[in-house]
Structure 1
Amino acid sequence: MRGRLERIMIFLSLFDVFCNIFIMEEKHTELEIEYNLSMAKNIY
């Protein structure tokens, strides 16, 4: 159960990163994208 939850959390975080990169709304700065990428790497 714990492994399944972790996979869901990883998927959601990566999905969030990709949304931030591709949507590029004004509120998403390059710094925020870098932060999200580093957070996604830390999960692994």
Structure 2
Amino acid sequence: MKDVKSPEFVYDYWNYQPDKLVETIRLYSQKCDDPFENTLASILKK
């Protein structure tokens, strides 16, 4: 990530766009073999 944002910015961004957060986690879990990430994505899909 080139442009690092402050934690407050990131929190506000996801807070106002929760659907984008779910989508980001879903996309990330498809690229990642980490079972925790896949579990998190499956919980959010429900």
Q: Structure 2: 5+ residue runs without aligned partners?
A: 1-13
Quote the residue 1:41 is aligned against. Answer: 42
Q: What amino acid maps onto 1:37 in structure 2?
A: N
RMSD: 1.9
Quote the residue 1:20 is aligned against. Answer: 32
Q: In structure 1, how many angstroms separate the alpha carbons of the residues matched to 2:42 and 2:36? A: 10
Which structure is richer in relative contact order (CA contacts within 8 A, separation 6 or more)? 1
TM-score by length of 1: 0.50
CA deviation digits over 1:3-26, x for unaligned, max 9?
x611100000001001114xxxxx
Q: Structure 1: 5+ residue runs without aligned partners?
A: 22-32
Structure with the larger helix share: 1
Identity, % of aligned positions: 3
Aligned length: 30
Runs of 4+ in structure 1 deviating by more than 2 angstroms, as ranges, are 41-44
